[in-house]
Chain A
Amino acid sequence: MPAGARATGGTVPIDFREDPMTEPILILLALAAGTFASLLFLRRARAEKRRADETEQRREQLAQQMRAAEQYVAHIAQSVVQAAASEAQTGRPYQLDSAIPPQLAHTQLANGLAALANQVRSAITMTGRLAQNAAEEQLAQVWAETERQVAQARQESVDVARAAVRAFASSTVQRAAKLSSTISAGVRRHVSDEAYATLVEMDHLAQQMLLTASGYGVLAGDKLSRRWPATTLTDVVRTAMGRVEGYQRVQHTDLESFAVQSRAVEAVVHTLSVLLDNALRYSPPNARVHVSLEHGANAAFLVVDDAGLRMEDERLTWAREVMSGEQRDDITRLGAYPQTGLRVASVLAHQYGFRVELTAPNLYGGTRAIIVLPQALLTTPGPSRAVPAQSLPAPRPVAAAPVPSAVPSTETPMPEPVSPPEAMPVAEPAPAAAAAPAPAPVTPADAQPAPRQAPATTASGLTVRRRGARPAAAARPGPEPVVEPGRPSVAAAWMAGSRSSRDNQNPPRTDEGR
């Protein structure tokens, strides 16, 4: 090799020509040096190769890790989001397949990615939950709003219905009350049996009309408009009887021991009417309905027993529910009248503080209704039932001599003393109308001729009275002539006398006319 020769030649500066023996040595040395150099070279090359292989392997490993990481990131990106979304949607925790690929085992990248996956997942879950909550909240708001609007619409329709029923009921009550006071005045004014029968029949119808109409008024939210003074239970029962069909079948015991306080009278009368009506409706037409009174420690029990078929369980339950106040003021769910009646009773009981109980079967196999009147609504009957002494004329034991001057001066028509204006019903709607017709004279025909025919009338009247007075004559010592000009009996006798006189007078006239 030239390079090695040169180097060797360089390092050993020997002149070959001077020593011929040195030449082989020099050749050997050169060979050795060459061999050593090539050996060294080989070894270095081998190491180089090994290093290159290692680098290649490492590169390959990194590439694999890179691919695994890419796949893992892609997997996580896809599955974690999906998992979180489905969890948020269904509310069930979703098991995430986040197993770390073997290529990435024990690398920081793997840990980092796993942490990232978990965070992404929890973040999405959280967001989902918040969104769900927000949606639920909104839904609830919409729901509440809808319900509110439905309730409002319903309330409005109830109000409209109530206003209509109230207007109708109140005008009907007013007119019926006026009609009933007009009839009362008529009953006092007309003495003929036919007029009386007709008026009484009309009156009965008017009272039933009043009951129905004021019932609807109560359901529509009105207060009862009629006011009465404190009234004994006897009169409460009899007033209630006057408002129902078939009152003749009602039998009541003596109920004079209690009176109902003024403010509750109409309510109790109305409630009792409803119960009587119910009892009469649901019992055979010949069966009686009994009203009795039980005394309690703090209450009085007005008991209505019918002998009808006992109330069916279903109906009894229904009636009790009505009485306990379920939907009692719902004007849009009115049934036919009997049902409405119980509902009215329930409202009244609630308003005025008494109770109504229904039980079946009772002693007679029918239904028993009880009005429980607490002490607060009761009072003891006043002495008002006693007839005031001055209103009763002293019975005439001795026939009073006719007093011509006194009798004609009493131009008092018959109805006035029996029907003073203040005795008219106190029905509020028509007080004026009630009072007005009362003082009207009987009939112009009756009133006019009376003064002129006074002597005849008096004679006629005396005959009757003298007979009546006869038996008591001995009992009364003082035969002083008592003449009370306004006495009803005098007026009545006078009227009857004038009428009979005219009746006697008329036939000849008609004969003359022929």
Chain B
Amino acid sequence: MSGPRRDPDMVRPYVRTGGRVRPHRDVRLESVVVAASGAADELGPDARRVLSLFAVGRGGLAVADIAAALQLPPSTVRIIVSSLMDSGHLASPAPAVEDQPQNDILQKVLDGLRELV
């Protein structure tokens, strides 16, 4: 034993978000974000930690994955990510329209599922 373990709850969530209690934009746990541009100098420690997860060449990360990696409460990460998107450090990936499943296919899947239930 080498003393107590590092405690991710030592710094309280409201301090990490600077007092913000909800994200400015629709950031969900399953939302995927990618790194955009922007200097990290002016950012807080947690924002920098979030950005440090986005190594060059890596793709997007889901908010839930960021929260898990940093051992932070998901809601806190949602707010931090939302702020980083506000400041332009993170961005939503460009929607790939051609990749979207067709609505009628989805509807068929849904109908099939309802029959199963």
Chain A contacts to B: CB under 8 angstroms: 181, 184, 187-188, 190-191, 193, 196-197, 200-201, 203-204, 207, 227-231, 234-235, 238-239, 241-242, 247-248, 256, 262, 384-385, 387, 391-393, 395-397, 414, 417-420, 422-426, 452-453, 455-456, 459, 461, 463-473, 475-476, 487-489, 491-493, 495-496, 501, 504-505
Contacts and interface: CB of A to CB of B under 8 A. Distances in A.
Contacts of A191: 29, 74-75
Nearest to B41: A254
Given A262-B3, A262-B4, A459-B101, A387 B64 contact: no
Contact of B29 (A228, A420, A496, A501): A496
A188 B59 contact: no
Interface string B58-97: 1111111101111111111000000000000000011110
A323 to B, nearest CB: 27
Interface residues of B, number: 63
Given A262-B4, A493-B29, 6 more contacts: A247-B14, A424-B7, A426-B5, A468-B59, A488-B64, A492-B74
B8 interface: yes
Contacts of B96: 466-467, 470
Contacts of B113: 453, 455-456, 501
B9 A414 contact: no
Given A242-B15, A456-B109, A459-B101, A423 B71 contact: yes
A285 to B, nearest CB: 14
Contacts of A229: 3-7
A465 B62 contact: yes
Contacts of A471: 34, 59-60, 93-94
A238 B113 CA distance: 49
B99 interface: yes
B10 interface: yes
Nearest to A255: B45
A457 B7 CA distance: 33
B37 interface: no
B53 A238 contact: no
A414 B64 contact: yes
Given A423-B7, A463-B101, A242 B59 contact: no
Contacts of B60: 395, 468-469, 471-472
B58 A395 contact: yes
Highest count of chain B CB atoms <10 Å: which of A234, A247, A395, A417: A395
Highest count of chain B CB atoms <10 Å: which of A200, A235, A491: A200
B25 interface: no
Contacts of A239: 10-12, 15
B62 A488 contact: yes
A469 B95 contact: no
Given A229-B6, A395-B61, A187 B29 contact: no
Contacts of A467: 32, 93, 95-96, 99
A392 B59 CA distance: 12
A282 to B, nearest CB: 21
A505 B117 CA distance: 11
- Give me the 9 closest cross-chain CB pairs, A-B, nearest first: A468-B32, A472-B59, A489-B62, A395-B59, A468-B60, A242-B12, A492-B29, A492-B64, A488-B64
B68 A228 contact: no
Given A391-B68, A464-B32, A504-B110, A207 B74 contact: no
A143 B7 CA distance: 58
A184 B43 CA distance: 24
A456 B110 contact: yes
Contacts of A465: 30, 32, 62
B110 A468 contact: no
A425 B110 CA distance: 43
Contacts of B57: 472, 475
B39 interface: no
Contacts of B95: 467
28 contacts: A187-B73, A187-B76, A190-B75, A196-B22, A197-B21, A228-B10, A229-B5, A229-B6, A229-B7, A238-B45, A392-B53, A396-B59, A414-B29, A418-B73, A422-B5, A423-B8, A424-B7, A459-B109, A464-B62, A467-B32, A467-B95, A467-B96, A468-B60, A469-B32, A471-B60, A472-B57, A489-B30, A492-B62
Contacts of A487: 64-65
A492 B69 CA distance: 14
A239 B13 CA distance: 10
B117 A418 contact: no
Contacts of B110: 456, 501, 504
A204 B5 contact: no
Contacts of A204: 12, 14
A496 B95 CA distance: 19
Given A188-B74, A395-B61, A459-B109, A425 B10 contact: yes
Contact of A452 (B71, B99, B117): B117
Highest count of chain A CB atoms <10 Å: which of B8, B10, B19, B60: B10
Given A385-B49, A387-B70, A187 B13 contact: yes
